[in-house]
Amino acid sequence: MAHSNGIRNSVLQAIGNTPVVKLRKIVSPSMAEVLVKLEYYSPTGSYKDRMALAMIEGAEARGELRPGMRVVEWTGGSTGSSLAMVCAIKGYHFTPISSDGFAKEKLQTMRLFGAELEIFPAENGKLVPELYQRMKKRAEELAQQAGTFYTDQFHNADAIRGYMGIGAELAEQAGTGLAAFCGGVGTAGMISGVSRALKEAGCKARIVALEPATSAVLTTGKGGAHRVEGIAAGFRPPHLKDGVFDEVRTVEEASAREMARRLAKEEGIFAGTSSALNVTAALQLAQELGRGSTVATVAVDSGFKYLAGDLYQT
């Protein structure tokens, strides 16, 4: 609980309540207003902090996670970093299963928080469905060991509860007149949570799920190689129920990577490829809806997580 002077008792209390900004330079007067919620304001620089805290505290409340136990998860890096932070603060051992195909910064962050990281190699740095399945299988093996709690983010209902905060905050910050919300699909926890929270607030926004064009499982049924970390694991995630979203769209990865650089240079928004993919789609929706409407999306993590890769190489 935060004191009235704004002092938090823990870093965990600094998760959420992130700002929303209006795009000004990469939009035109004929377009709908585009709002971006800056989730990189959370402690590890990622919206995954919300999910990690919700999954750990949900398990604690049910008695499934107790002092002395180990936490396990397979992760592209941001979930792992967030879980590593939460586990470090709460005193749990954490074993994330990841790959060298993900950003070096994310892997190093997990280690710095004390995680015992296991790495699977990614051929040519490509993220393919088979890689995700190998990581998942290893996490499931570890989950069978005594004293282990598997957060299982793709099936954990607490993840959706954690992400509902984004939608509730958006409704309060932007009002309930949003015409559309779009977001990339990884676990689908975020889009599911936001969709639920907006509906509960009385908002009738069109919910648009996004995926990279080269791994369009939701639109074509076929996964493929891509380099958009955090989304498109090569299968339809269980959290993505019918009724959660109204439409699925694909975005070209090259367009998203270009948008990431434009966002930094023109709007001062320094984020990763999946965030830029979100904004690329939001701009398309804004063009279609036209002036007088409002579209919202999320900058899910910080660009500082991607400086070692080629996204921001100049």
The residue extents of the domains of the chain are 11-46+164-306, 48-150
Name beta bridge partners: 149.
71
pLDDT band of residue 3 (cuts 50, 70, 90) is low
Q: What is the mean pLDDT of residues 178-193?
A: 97
Residue-wise pLDDT tens digits, 54-110: 999 999 999 999 999 999 999 988 999 999 999 999 999 999 999 999 889 999 999
Distance CA 239, CA 187 (A): 7
DSSP states of 242-280 as a string? TTS-SEEEEE-HHHHHHHHHHIIIII---B-HHHHHHHH
Whether domain 48-150 has CATH 3.40.50.300: the reply is no
52 CB-near residues (< 8 Å, 6+ apart): 79, 82, 83, 85, 86, 151, 162
Q: What is the pLDDT of residue 76?
A: 87
Does the pLDDT at position 29 exceed 90? yes
Does the pLDDT at position 139 exceed 60? yes
Residue-wise pLDDT tens digits, 35-52: 999 999 999 999 999 999
Q: What is the pLDDT of residue 153?
A: 95
Distance CA 189, CA 171 (A): 18
Sheet strands side by side (includes 247-251): 20-22, 33-38, 294-299, 180-184, 206-212, 247-251
Give percent of the chain above pLDDT 90.
88
Residue-wise pLDDT tens digits, 195-204: 999 999 999 9
Q: What is the pLDDT of residue 77?
A: 83
| 224 neighbors 211 (Cβ within 8 angstroms) | no
What is the CB-side half-sphere exposure of residue 232 using CA atoms within 13 A? 34
Distance CA 162, CA 111 (A): 24
Residue type, 210: L
Residue-wise pLDDT tens digits, 123-134: 888 888 899 999
Q: What is the pLDDT of residue 232?
A: 84
Does the pLDDT at position 2 exceed 70? no
- Residue 76's closest CA among 101, 50, 51? 101
Q: What is the pLDDT of residue 228?
A: 83
Q: What is the mean pLDDT of residues 306-314?
A: 87
Residue type, 48: K
Residue-wise pLDDT tens digits, 204-262: 999 999 999 999 999 999 899 888 888 888 889 999 999 999 999 999 999 999 999 99
* CA distances to 92, 128, 136, 142, 143 from 146, in Å: 14, 31, 18, 9, 8
Averaged pLDDT of the chain: 95
CATH number for the domain whose boundaries are 11-46+164-306: 3.40.50.1100
Q: What is the pLDDT of residue 4?
A: 60
Residue-wise pLDDT tens digits, 269-295: 999 999 999 999 999 999 999 999 999
Q: What is the pLDDT of residue 229?
A: 85
- Residue 109's closest CA among 183, 194, 52, 170? 52
Whether the domain at 11-46+164-306 and the domain at 48-150 fall into the same CATH topology? yes
Q: What is the pLDDT of residue 257?
A: 95
